[in-house]
A and B are shown apart, each in its own frame.
Chain A
């Protein structure tokens, strides 16, 4: 046996040289380990005759079949959304009624205490009202969506989604596990960004990170749900409203997936050129989820966590909107001045200045976009009571001239605009680069502006 002496940082090691190449040594080592594992496993396990039905395969025969794979995914998505939307309706209105009753009592209390006008305005009309909106709009859909999603996650359906969709991601030069990160993004884009770590190749991980925001997170659901209920659901018979709203939200999500694939493809042809890395995805056995535990955990860990974050951000934002609406700038309110300044550009996108401002103020958290918008409209308008979808329809259509095109553009821009503050912070932490964080900000924003302008332009023809 010959020897090769190498020095590792001044440490001499005399390494014996074997009669074969290093990679065949590695092979031999792995093989020996696996053979040993096989030997031990055979000696210590016994399996009864394999007559049993392999349920996992039977389920996969449907869930990942050529014929049913894609329809089932769409069905699951629409089904979850339908349950979320139709289930959330009643509790949302109950919460709104309750919280706005409390709102009125608070007003009474402040008046009885002879509180100064600005104090009442800031805390009740600003802070409390926006928190009430966030809670009543967000809590019910989240409390339904998160358990349903967690059930699918625990059962083991998500890897099947990745399996079904991988061919698309491969065409886009991306990694199949990106589908898993997108599923996580459906709950929260910050969580989606963190989950991109499951992709080992840095190039494909970056693609997944930069495009994760094209999946609408839970915080953007309410905007999509409310608007599609008002403008699209409203056009059909009552009994079909939930379903048609669910279908339109599902359509927005599918559009998000299509945009993700296109942008991923574009990135892998330009900024992030490279070959697809190796892909190996385990399809774990299906598990029967523990339903009770799923409900408790998803409500405590996910729902309340996300809601808490939203409330913490909604409170000061509500106060800020009130201040903006109640301070003057020239002969108008500051709010109206800013909205007016944004209006020209916003109109090109089919929006108005208040809507664009709400998206900007919603940077810390997407959850507050709709409440902020309503707050601004209310602060300017005359309507004080707003506890039903019908009242909201009245506010948007009668007072602020919304059309179905406005609703479509708001939904599109909600799907494609800058990621929320938490997500940006997470992207900065994960990529450790301002350049890519900036890219993650610009990419969806430009896509959104382009989409909205294109739609507005085409419809205007």
Chain B
């Protein structure tokens, strides 16, 4: 029995169901995908911001029960708004096993902004490129292999409204969880002075907080002057130890 099987076993033995978060820009068909995955029928309107509560659902794939959480649609994760805060905190603190970022194939560029931000928080990311049918209608072709190579995370093309790509996505999620696929996100390189500063901050953060959270992401927030975020990450035990 090799290592990957062992992890698989461990997962099956643990009582905790893997949690999958669905993130994405508003109006990318996130809720539609949520319905397609879970078989629930939450209404999906066509106006930005309709998922005001994050809803939960379940599905079973190859004998494993998965919990799916539909996060509010956001353009960014900087937490300017309640929606962004909800989405960010869920990914940071609830640590879903996999975060599926749903992107609109017809305006991929805008959506990749969020993908790149989420990849800085967690490496367990899958990109679901939805609305491929719309893209085809608009004569846009997407090279998902190239996209996957450049991002370093699995990419699944989808037409969630037609149910196309749903089983592929479920399979990819399963593979990422049992480590048959290990995403290696290719992170954004910032301007040299910022990268230098990150290099100085990162080890300090890892020393202080361990590697449970992304030190690179936290370094960036500190450099921006967003110190409030850091305070959220200090576990009570650590404060005592530091004293």
Contact = CB atoms under 8 A, between A and B. Distances in A.
- Binding partners A and B: yes
Interface of A: 1, 6, 8-16, 18-20, 22-23, 25-26, 28-29, 32-34, 36-38, 40-49, 52, 150, 153-156, 158-159, 177, 180, 194-195, 197-198, 200, 281-282, 284-287, 290, 297-298, 300-302
A44 B190 contact: no
12 contacts: A1-B196, A9-B234, A12-B242, A25-B194, A25-B224, A26-B224, A28-B194, A29-B190, A37-B115, A41-B108, A154-B46, A284-B46
Contact of B141 (A14, A33, A46, A197): A46
Interface in B195-240: 196-197, 200-201, 204-205, 208, 220, 222-225, 227, 230-231, 234, 238-239
Nearest to A46: B141
B142 A13 contact: no
A159 B52 CA distance: 16
A162 to B, nearest CB: 8
A159 B140 contact: no
Given A16-B200, A25-B194, A194-B53, A44 B108 contact: yes
B134 A281 contact: no
Contacts of B47: 153, 156, 158-159, 180, 284
A158 B45 contact: yes
B155 to A, nearest CB: 9
A45 B189 contact: no
B204 A14 contact: yes
Given A8-B231, A10-B243, A40-B147, A47 B140 contact: yes
A49 B138 CA distance: 10
Nearest to A7: B242
B68 to A, nearest CB: 19
Given A13-B205, A16-B196, A25-B223, 8 more contacts: A26-B224, A28-B194, A38-B109, A48-B141, A52-B138, A158-B45, A180-B49, A282-B27
A1 B112 contact: no
B101 to A, nearest CB: 12
A36 B116 contact: yes
Nearest to A296: B41
Nearest to B42: A301
Given A29-B220, A33-B188, A37-B116, A10 B45 contact: no
B208 A11 contact: yes
A153 B45 contact: yes
Contacts of B204: 13-14
B220 A41 contact: no
B173 to A, nearest CB: 22
A52 B113 CA distance: 27
A43 to B, nearest CB: 6
B54 to A, nearest CB: 12
Contacts of A177: 49
Contacts of A197: 49, 52, 82-83
A13 B222 contact: yes
A37 B113 contact: yes
Given A8-B231, A11-B242, A29 B194 contact: yes
B45 A19 contact: no
Contacts of B142: 44-45
Report the 4 A-B pairs with minimum CB-CB distance, sorted nearest first: A22-B225, A198-B49, A37-B112, A48-B139
A288 B188 CA distance: 37
B239 A10 contact: yes
Nearest to A39: B150
B96 interface: no
B143 interface: yes
Interface string B121-143: 00000000000001000111111
Contacts of A200: 80-83
Contacts of A28: 190-191, 194
Contacts of B190: 28-29, 32
A281 B49 CA distance: 10
A56 B127 CA distance: 27
B128 to A, nearest CB: 15
B16 interface: no
A223 B242 CA distance: 67
B147 to A, nearest CB: 4
B46 A153 contact: yes
B189 A32 contact: yes
Interface string B7-44: 00000000000000000001100000000000001011
A40 B234 contact: no
Contact of B197 (A18, A155, A287, A297): A18
B161 interface: yes
A19 B193 contact: yes
A15 B193 CA distance: 13
A301 B43 contact: yes
A29 B161 CA distance: 35
A37 B109 contact: yes
A10 B239 CA distance: 6
Nearest to B199: A16
A290 B161 contact: yes
A20 B224 CA distance: 11
